[in-house]
Amino acid sequence: MSTTRDRLKSTFTSALELQPDVEVESLDRAECEKWDSLHHMILVVAFEDEFGVELSAAQVVRIETFESAVTILSELGVPV
């Protein structure tokens, strides 16, 4: 069974079209070339679909790293 973090890693990898060997947990939007505005919105939609949540505009802009996404999931009541 996949953990929430594993599911989130998979979501990031797919949405940002990353190679499987990329260390997702250390991703930072400012340093990831593929993490542009389009891929950010793809990530948001994938995030909402995967975890059955709806992000506010404030939460959308707060997703800057993998760990910030973990924090947001926790705030939304998803066990991480």
> Global pTM?
0.93
Close Cβ partners of 20 (under 8 Å, ≥ 6 residues apart): 13
- Rounded-to-10 torsion of CA 29, 33, 37, 39: -90
Predicted confidence band of residue 1 (pLDDT cuts 50, 70, 90): low
Q: What is the pLDDT of residues 13-45, one digit of tens each?
A: 999 999 999 999 999 999 999 999 999 999 999
Q: Using a pLDDT cut of 90, give the percent of the chain over it.
A: 95
- Parse the chain into domains and list their residue ranges: 4-75
Chain length of the chain: 80
d(CA 69, CA 5): 10
In this structure, what DSSP letter does residue 22 have?
Answer: S
- Distance of alpha carbon 45 from the chain centroid: 10
Q: Is the dihedral of CA 34, 35, 40, 43 positive or negative?
A: positive
Q: Which carries the bigger pLDDT value, residue 50 or residue 1?
A: 50
4-75 CATH pick, 3.40.50.10490, 3.40.50.2020, 1.10.1200.10, 3.50.50.60: 1.10.1200.10
The radius of gyration computed from the CA coordinates of the chain, to the nearest angstrom, equals 11
